[in-house]
Amino acid sequence: MRLVIHADYEKASRWAASYIADKIKNYKKGPFVLGLPTGSSPIGIYKELVRLCKEGKLSFKNVRTFNMDEYAGLSADHPQSYHYFMMDNLFNHIDIDRRHIHILDGMAKDREKECLLYEEAIAKEGGIELFLGGMGSDGHIAFNEPGSSLTSRTRIKTLTEETINANSRFFDGDPAKVPHTALTVGVGTVMDAREVMIIVNGRNKARALRAVIEEGVNHMWTLSCLQMHPKAIIVCDEDATEELKVGTVRYFKDIEKENII
Ligand code: GLP
């Protein structure tokens, strides 16, 4: 696993966006299949991708996207739905063909079927080339809360109190307004991607980042699955490294020194 530490969130986001843009531009094997997250962490990357697209330096015409998750019971036009978030922060501003956007339907009548069909749709596109993700403060990836199977597939998950409280900031600060279940890709779905990139920023993620990087693979910190992935990168800011050992930070800074902006 690579850990690329940048001085601040802006630099980390710019570096990650340019990495993704290069992958898209240099891909010659057919449509580029990109996995995408929501949350505050990827916003800087999305802003940068939009800028590159508007300046004509990047096109999403050859890109197919699959989002990680969606709240159960929220329709696409609900301002706190992940559908809405994605349109607002990325898709409305880039040249992607709407037919190539995939997001789990939180309003699906048969949610289990929706999850099965999602896995099928990913497989039909030949799998995910690059899965971009964020991390919850409890170390979760997508909505794979602590204790999730590290081989899990797309399914319905109950959210923990920590996640509900953390995400209540998007729901007028009221945990009661946050849906208690979500449809989410599994840890196994993320692990099947040929490459995984995670953006982590801020001190509130430091405890989880330490567990994911310095401790063993553990279902209580589901992002620690990355230790078993052949091509994984965590891009972070200095604040997120607060709980790492000095030696760990020095080691990754040294081996990544040419990649730090
Ligand atoms: C939610 C999402 C995750 C995201 C996490 C962190 O739980 N399902 O995909 O990584 O929030 O969000 P933020 O980036 O806002 O800290």
**Ligand 1, residues at Cβ distance < 6 Å:** 37-41, 68-69, 134-136, 142-143, 163, 167
For 187-221, b where at least 16 C-beta lie within 10 A, e where not — what string?
A: bbbbbbbebbbbbbbbeebbbbbbbbbeeeebbeb
Distance set, CA 5 to CA 2, 12, 222, 236 (Å): 10, 7, 21, 5
Which residue, judged by its Cα, is nearest atom 5 of ligand 1?
Answer: 136
Kindly give the parts of the chain with pLDDT less than 50: none
Residue 239 annotated to the active site: no
**Residue among 13, 38, 170 whose CB has most ligand 1 atoms within 8 A, to mutate:** 38
Q: Two tokens at 208?
A: 């989880």
Task: Quote the pLDDT of residue 243.
Answer: 98
Q: What is the pTM of this model?
A: 0.97
Task: Quote the pLDDT of residue 109.
Answer: 97
Secondary structure class of 200 (helix, strand, coil) = strand
Q: Two tokens at 164?
A: 């509900």
Contact 35, 118 (CB under 8 A): no
pLDDT in tens, 207-243: 999 999 999 999 999 999 999 999 999 999 999 999 9
Residue 140 annotated to the active site: yes
Which residue, judged by its Cα, is nearest atom 3 of ligand 1?
Answer: 142
Secondary structure class of 221 (helix, strand, coil) = coil
**Residue among 81, 131, 132, 140 whose CB has most ligand 1 atoms within 8 A, to mutate:** 140
Contact 69, 106 (CB under 8 A): no
Task: Quote the pLDDT of residue 40.
Answer: 96
Contact 102, 118 (CB under 8 A): yes
Active-site residue, from 48, 138, 192, 237: 138
Task: Quote the pLDDT of residue 261.
Answer: 83
For 76-106, b where at least 16 C-beta lie within 10 A, e where not — what string?
A: eebeebbbbbbbebbbebbebeeebbbbbbb
